[in-house]
Amino acid sequence: MLSTAQALNGPRRDEHLAAIDKELHGHLKVFGTYTLIPITDMPIEANLIDLKLILAEKFGAMNEFLKAKARLVARGDQEEAGRDFDPWQTWSPMLCYSSLRLLCSLAATTGRKLSSSDAVQAYLNAGLKTPRHGRLPKELREYDADGVELIALIRQALYGLSESGHAWNLEINTYLTTPRSEGGMGFSRCYSEPCMYKRIEGDSWAIIGLACDNAIHLESDDNVHAEVIAALQAKFNWIDEGHVNDVPTILGAKIRQNLKTGEVTMEQEGYVDALAEEWSGNVSTRLVSTPSSKDLENRVIEAKVERYSRPSDAKLTKRYQRLVGALLFKSVVTGPDIAWAVGMLARAMAWPTEALMKEAYHCLNYTIQHKHLPMRFTRDTYFCARTGTTILRKNANQGGRLAGVYTINDSQIDDGHSDADYAAGPSVSGWAWRVAGGSVLFGSKKQSETMLCSASTELVAGSVAATDGVHLRNLKEEIGFPEEGPTAMWIDNKATVALAHDPQSFSKTKHVARRHHFLRECVDSGVLDVKHISTEFNISDIFTKALGVKTFRLFRAAVMNLSVESLI
């Protein structure tokens, strides 16, 4: 974000002026967002909200300049709940990154184009229940012939207002879900993911993932895609951005699709390059093979113990929070390989130490040096940790069935893995669910309570993983890709596998809360098929602890569906 002086005195002055003109044209000529009235006409009981002109420059996933942006926004923090807006009418959903990865995996397995589109000044399509009064920024302020200041009487959902996101979501949701016979688009909203919509008519189908004013499309053929885009353009100012290969960035990631080989990749090289530039003084040329040292967990524990006995350092805390927050975004989108390290670093957000700051730099340097590694989703092959090689799905059953070696029918879930690192305090749960070879859902999370044995710890982790597995199955069924039979889930603790099938060793697990037996319910209902796998092939181990270089590279390749060359 730039100040007005920076933008208008900088090298892209003309681009910023054009962006301002475009923004104001939309407000005044297209949407009629507000009308100007004398400030003396404002009711005494009304709240006058400041408006601001925000200027920024948008860069692509490869850190290339795309365009200048201008946005007139309201100071929503100056609104008063109950007077200016209904506090229960402010929530607006956002497409989950796991849902975006699912769309990528389905694009790989179906061979259909993954496309993107964008709504221009989307919020302004929705009206406000109660008009607002806003004071224009000084750059745009106007006065009448008598010298009385003119203010804005706002009737449309201006960006920044508390209810604007909710109003836009209601507007687009209503249009998408209204039957075509009544002037809508005839889609159905998914219960498992409120930002995904599907429409199935005979052999033709369409799926839309809605991320505020961006949409990601997957349709059965090009004619259906053209019809969907035409319907959106008939109602809104909507731009078809085309195939994902032609779109610089989608929700912070660059997505590429090879229709011939059935491969879709997601990466964030540009985002990492921007981090490298911002933290250039801490970038090292020394080779970093793993995202953390073996001492990371102990350093977090030490920092927690000492947090009250040492003075706080506000400057260090601010830098630490900024860096770890940036790494967290990378881990959520395309970085399962750094999920455990970032999760451990995030535990010390309020009380970091210099040692932990060095660990954060370590993770940053690993991320920079391995920025070229993408999340891959492939139709015909996948990386198998059991063999340490890339396997053709059609040949997967040759030579007998091995744990972790599988075939796939159409767009079925490959499998799920779950693990836990048994510790003196609360342990860490780790899990991953793969579709088309790549991890669609994954996580590394500290358990909420201390378990008394490794089996109960693994049971807690397995139940957490099962919730993601059930969600993934439900969402796939809603969008027209149901699972055939139970989904395989691998756990490396034999006692936990036994408990998942039958209530064995009751005397040793009677302290475990009922919610942690959800895994057994999933097995009993035929949703999951829990199986045992050797620890040396359980890829979810990458989410529970710091690993040696060889094991880390093997599990990273399996979690991200990388090539054999990534093992070197």
Q: Which tens digits make up the pLDDT trace of 137-168?
A: 988 899 999 999 999 999 999 999 999 999 99
Contact 323, 364 (CB under 8 A): yes
Contact 515, 459 (CB under 8 A): no
Element (H, E) at 473: helix 454-478
Query: What are φ and ψ of residue 467, in 5° steps?
Result: -60, -40
Per-residue pLDDT, averaged over 294-311, amounts to: 91
DSSP 511-531: TS-GGGGHHHHHHHTTSEEEE
| pTM of the complete model | 0.91
Tokens of 112: 């259909």
| pLDDT at res. 398 | 40
297-311, 355-369, 383-397, 521-535: range with lowest mean pLDDT: 383-397
The span from the CA of 427 to the CA of 430, in Å, is 10
CB proximity list for 310: less than 8 A, separation 6 or greater? 353
pLDDT tens, residue by residue, 89-140: 999 999 999 999 999 999 999 999 999 999 999 999 999 999 999 999 988 8
> Radius of gyration over alpha carbons of the chain, in Å?
26
Contact 38, 136 (CB under 8 A): no
| pLDDT at res. 496 | 86
| Beta-carbon-side half-sphere exposure of residue 255 (alpha carbons within 13 Å) | 28
pLDDT tier at 506 (50, 70, 90 boundaries)?
Answer: low
pLDDT tier at 408 (50, 70, 90 boundaries)?
Answer: very low
Per-residue pLDDT, averaged over 221-236, amounts to: 96
The span from the CA of 402 to the CA of 405, in Å, is 5
Mean pLDDT of the chain: 90
pLDDT tier at 267 (50, 70, 90 boundaries)?
Answer: very high
| pLDDT at res. 508 | 56
pLDDT tier at 409 (50, 70, 90 boundaries)?
Answer: very low
The span from the CA of 108 to the CA of 110, in Å, is 6
Hey, is 67 helix, strand or coil?
Answer: strand
The span from the CA of 46 to the CA of 49, in Å, is 9
| pLDDT at res. 430 | 96
The span from the CA of 218 to the CA of 95, in Å, is 15
Contact 566, 556 (CB under 8 A): yes
The span from the CA of 14 to the CA of 403, in Å, is 61
| pLDDT at res. 405 | 42
DSSP 110-166: H-PPEEEEEETTGGGGSEEEEEEEEEPPTTT-EE-TTSPEEEEEEEE--TTSTTHHH
